[in-house]
Amino acid sequence: MEPEEQARVATLKSYGLLDTPNEPAFDRIVLETKQALGMPIVLISLIDADRQWFKAKIGIEASQIPLSISFCTHAIKGREVLVVPNAKRDARFAGSPLVTGYPLIRFYAGAPLIAPNDRRIGTLCVLDTRPRLDFDSGAAAVLTANAAATMVAVEARGRRRARQEAA
């Protein structure tokens, strides 16, 4: 693993979020995102060294997927929302089992979760089983704002955890 990727994964692990139970703050963010954008699938997705794990989710049963089929690994490469209007027509994703089989993803938009040290630890993403050409800059702004709110919740959780460990 490259040093930059090691540092990114170390940042993620420093929050102690992986494999933890549901928490109201994160469940609320995915629900609000679903309501605001009208998407059937919403995930707070954390990108570990070898898997993508869902801290909060609506519309999908899986709790994790391998990185090899992850859309979100592409989204964390940048700072802006990654939008895939029709995954079946996108060379990066057309052959993915998430597109060719359950859940038959056609649309994806993911906003990176950016830690204060500028490491991107995951995404807040929305998915649909039909292509969407109507995901505009307003929708991207909502997703970006909710991703920022996710990081506020992550940081607050980290501070609470640090206080509990110090006590």
Please tell me the predicted confidence (pLDDT) of residue 74: 93
CA distance 90 to 31: 28
Residue 166 CB coordination number (10 Å): 6
CA distance 68 to 70: 6
Instruction: Decide if pLDDT at 165 tops 90.
Output: no
Q: What is the 3-state secondary structure (H, E, C) of the chain?
A: CCHHHHHHHHHHHHCCCCCCCCCHHHHHHHHHHHHHHCCCEEEEEEECCCEEEEEEEECCCCCEEEHHHCCHHHHCCCCCCEEECCHHHCCCCCCCHHHHCCCCCCEEEEEEEECCCCCEEEEEEEEECCCCCCCCHHHHHHHHHHHHHHHHHHHHHHHHHHHHHHC
Indicate the domain borders of the chain: 3-159
User: What amino acid is encoded at 85 in this protein?
Assistant: P
pLDDT digits (tens, 9 = 90+) for 104-118: 999 999 999 999 999
| Whether domain 3-159 has CATH 1.10.10.10 | no
Instruction: Decide if pLDDT at 167 tops 80.
Output: no
Which residue has 């570990």 as its token pair? 48
CA distance 109 to 135: 8
Residue 166 pLDDT grade (very low, low, confident, very high; cuts 50, 70, 90):
confident
Please tell me the predicted confidence (pLDDT) of residue 158: 85
